[in-house]
Structure 1
């Protein structure tokens, strides 16, 4: 297991972590913790205005963000320009176009943006408009990710989503009209009560929007959520693994037929340019600084995380202290396991030189069972999941890791 240590007021990083900084992909993640309402399935670090009261506000959060990224620039010494920026949450679009523009200016001021940088913001369809998209595009955002989840009203009700079923498609079209070439729609499948025809209708709606990227995630009942309490009380059934597998096969078949190809187990894109480069940085061992309450960071085998509550986050930074709560110093064994776990999820697969002799034998056995592409093992020396292997990806990882 990684070594866990409390962090001092202003954290430094070991020289070993800073070696190669800038030669690996470098991204910035900004966590916006605010939501208008809380979705019943969500366990992200988010807060409604009623939950926060006067303890924190978008202004105190933004002041904290500016201070944290100034701290980041000092810790990294000569920080590389950001190849990617991802503003997530929460609901970043609640900041409005002006707020999101200011967030990007803060990132620019601390790190700068590399030529051709990818800059993404998540958005709730209900808090967007044609003017919103035009203004964030002018501010420098290049990509928008919209939470659709489903086109079926009764499925949205189970998830406690408040947007109307048709709004995400309209929002995606508005984003494209504003000049965004890269637009993603998120889908959740396996919700209790969702029928095959509901999922197919959602996929048809996604395709009608003309987006170049789709993320599809199986519903997970997370402890501590309203959904988990409903399942525990017997009000709703838990998601069924067989149904989830059938749903995934439908999603892959429909999207593939429409020209969106999988490049990561839960993500499909029309071409390489449409892939989310920020997330690829996570999956391919890049570095990133995560700013905001509860955000996680990783640089050169050191991973750390911030305090969760926005008020605590803002107050620590206002006092000149780091908002970090703890860190993990990844061992070689940890990094080896993570490389297998993350790289095997992408379409390019995992280089066999990442495996020991026992792992290679397991890869050959998995290929014989139809879980890995045998031709790739033979010709390019990479382990690539088959369609069936994607359904059982976690098990394949455990086998290769030993």
Structure 2
């Protein structure tokens, strides 16, 4: 049940359903296909699409291939439509992108940082402010992925960078050395801050190999490892919002002290830090990405050690959660590609007999390294593609339908 009790509420509900369907299919399905998918009357669908076009939320293009008669139309993002600003803040750099309805990503900036909250988040805040000024009313929200547990309210802890209870929203809106007045502060633009693994898992459930999977496990490997259970398309965030930390479970029997303060964390055995340590190179503090990638490409011994540890940990989690599928992103996908047999051989002895009978499929992510960024985007559109979110768009666009000079297609200029 959708809860709609009036014709106006039903129309608002169907507008949101239609836009979400366009977004989730990547703006690839025709109006006729969407009408069937959503079980709408043809006339109702026509009225909804016309209204969404007038509100600068959709734009239709003729399908590339069609039969006889009038060309069928494919609804997609309006050139002056909503944009999600999404950022992936890794231990050594951040990436900022603009994302349209349907999921098209345009990278706006990539910048290294020195590992401090002030440099990482302060410079990102300045960049976000500039993009908010440029995109203006088109910005539906900002999503930011971070490489550490994020508590409710946007407090992040990244132990190996010595970040503790860093107030992400404050640093993004009040950079230590602002170069110009920042429109991010006081603009009322929704901000969604989350763990990179949880966001990568969300993206995998929407656009990757966990789509349609009822219970899945997603593991994201960068300098260390994070993991989260995905149920009905949603990563389980935990009571305080700081889930996605399977990497801090003692799953492989090690006793190495982790930067988080616990002994024997799985993440000390898997990831770029483990590759660097295996090769006798300096590691920790978000240093050595290029060296770790060289080790991954050249050292079979280091790759095999990582793959064995990854396989043993996966077996323990499969025994506990009984997932249908396990997906790997970041270096996890590369480890699986290079040493998948080693990983499976390491996992098998640690699986319960009933799990060995029908093991879950294990595969690399369909999204590569882009998962966390796409998940940050999805967090914005999840809130926007609701009757309430769309109502806010209409309220902020009194001149919808007019082709005025100040409403140019900014996205096309950055593609």
Do both share a fold (TM > 0.5)? no
TM-score when normalising by structure 1: 0.30
Question: Taking CA–CA contacts closer than 8 Å with sequence separation of 6 or more, which of the two structures ends up with the larger relative contact order?
Answer: 1
Task: Name which one, 1 or 2, has greater alpha-carbon Rg.
Answer: 2
